[in-house]
């Protein structure tokens, strides 16, 4: 396996020192190492992968030095536009080294949302004409790979991708991982909200821990799962799925269970909700200032005023709470007001280690949910 420090130090010898991207579970060790050992301005966790390509481009324009962009292969879709219309050799011809975690690699077991992504990762890179290689897990071989990749980028000014398998990096635990000061656990908050909703209300939950914790809450209380649409992929788009439902069924309360990272990823959606969201739309953001599902890397979620942004975008009512008591009091009010409304719940970082995953398939979830919507 490759120690994260080895990769970072080897790239530094080529004057490659700027990193940006969105954390991935397969890259959590290198991401954690960068968080602990890089200057803040040299490792920027971007709102989304396309934005990271923009940051990388700006770095190259100002310094002339090749940047690194890291992501999960599911985020490759967010980079297709800038890779083909910005950095491509037929446009601005800007070299970029991409580190892409290969979730759903064919022949490996993974979650449903990663299976198709894993199958098309290499073919998609080939279709875009982007040179790539699977990163070696031996340092002696990696040295040769890096030398060839850097030589290629220097000569052609084109992008190069390392596709990274599970287990490529040695374990590195994030040192700068202090709690955020909030005592309310996200799983507890999810239970409080889900347990207080109207009988005809539905929930659209974002990908990652939030959907897993909602599923566990229902299972532990023998409540069934037909009222919940668990968005296992498509990070950042749960709020628009919920909006589509709310617009078609204006008499039904529709709740979006969102995370701070997902909200930030496509924040422009808040403006559409403010413009189009009706009285039945309630947007709940569980904010812990971290990408919890991929190693606890920080977001700017607790450094921006999400309720104020929502209010400026046209939400009629906004709330922010950080304790169970505040949450209970707010839940009794939120069902009486007209939306679109946003409730930010500030929660602690982390999840319990024995947290399960949904036992239903995405198609089963979809069918059960649609049956409930027909009632």
Q: So what's the pLDDT on residue 258?
A: 98
Q: So what's the pLDDT on residue 249?
A: 97
Q: So what's the pLDDT on residue 296?
A: 80
Q: So what's the pLDDT on residue 298?
A: 87
Strand partners, 99: 70, 162
Mean pLDDT per 10-residue interval, the chain, length 375 residues: 97 98 94 94 96 98 98 95 98 98 94 91 97 97 98 98 97 83 95 94 95 95 93 94 98 97 96 97 96 85 97 98 96 91 96 88 96 94
Question: What CATH class does 4-164 carry?
Answer: alpha beta
Q: So what's the pLDDT on residue 180?
A: 85
Domains 4-164 and 186-373 share a fold: yes
Q: So what's the pLDDT on residue 293?
A: 79
Q: CA quadruple 295, 167, 9, 74: dihedral positive or negative?
A: negative
CATH number of 186-373: 3.40.50.970
d(CA 62, CA 346): 38
Q: So what's the pLDDT on residue 111?
A: 86
CA nearest neighbour of 72 among 109, 106, 36, 23:
23
Domain extent listing, the chain: 4-164, 186-373
d(CA 196, CA 214): 13
Torsion of CA 16, 18, 23, 24, to 10 degrees: -10
Strand partners, 341: 282, 317
Q: So what's the pLDDT on residue 353?
A: 86
Q: So what's the pLDDT on residue 356?
A: 86
Q: So what's the pLDDT on residue 41?
A: 95
């Amino acid at each position: 396996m490759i120690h994260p420090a080895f990769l970072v130090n080897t790239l530094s010898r080529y004057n490659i020192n700027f990193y940006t991207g969105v954390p991935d579970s397969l890259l959590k060790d290198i991401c954690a190492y960068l968080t602990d050992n890089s200057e803040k301005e040299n490792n920027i966790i971007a709102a989304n992968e396309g934005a990271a390509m923009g940051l990388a481009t700006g770095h190259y324009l100002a310094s002339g030095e090749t940047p690194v962009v890291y992501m999960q292969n599911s985020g490759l879709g967010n980079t297709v536009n800038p890779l083909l219309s910005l950095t491509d050799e037929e446009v601005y011809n800007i070299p970029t080294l991409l580190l892409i975690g290969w979730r759903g690699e064919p022949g490996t077991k993974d979650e449903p949302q990663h299976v198709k992504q894993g199958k098309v990762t290499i073919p998609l890179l080939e279709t875009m004409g982007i040179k790539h290689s699977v990163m070696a897990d031996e340092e002696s071989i990696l040295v040769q790979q890096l030398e060839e990749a850097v030589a290629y980028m220097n000569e052609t000014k084109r992008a190069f991708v390392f596709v990274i398998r599970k287990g490529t990096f040695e374990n590195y635990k994030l040192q700068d991982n202090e709690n955020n000061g909030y005592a309310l656990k996200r799983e507890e908050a999810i239970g409080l909200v889900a347990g207080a909703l109207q009988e005809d209300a539905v929930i659209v939950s974002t990908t990652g821990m939030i959907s897993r914790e909602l599923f566990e809450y229902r299972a532990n209380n023998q409540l069934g799962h037909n009222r919940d649409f668990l968005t296992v992929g498509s990070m950042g788009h749960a709020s628009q799925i919920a909006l589509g439902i709310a617009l078609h069924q204006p008499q039904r309360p529709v709740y979006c269970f969102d995370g701070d990272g997902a909200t930030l990823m496509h924040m422009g959606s808040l403006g559409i909700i403010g413009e189009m969201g009706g009285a039945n739309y309630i947007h709940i953001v569980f904010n812990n200032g971290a990408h919890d599902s991929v190693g606890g890397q920080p977001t700017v979620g607790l450094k921006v005023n999400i309720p104020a942004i929502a209010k400026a975008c046209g939400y009629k009512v906004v709330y922010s709470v950080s304790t169970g008591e505040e949450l209970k009091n707010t839940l009794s009010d939120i069902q009486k007001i007209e939306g679109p409304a946003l409730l930010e719940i500030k929660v602690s970082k982390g999840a319990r280690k024995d947290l399960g995953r949904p036992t239903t398939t995405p198609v089963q979830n979809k069918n059960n949910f649609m049956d409930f919507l027909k009632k």
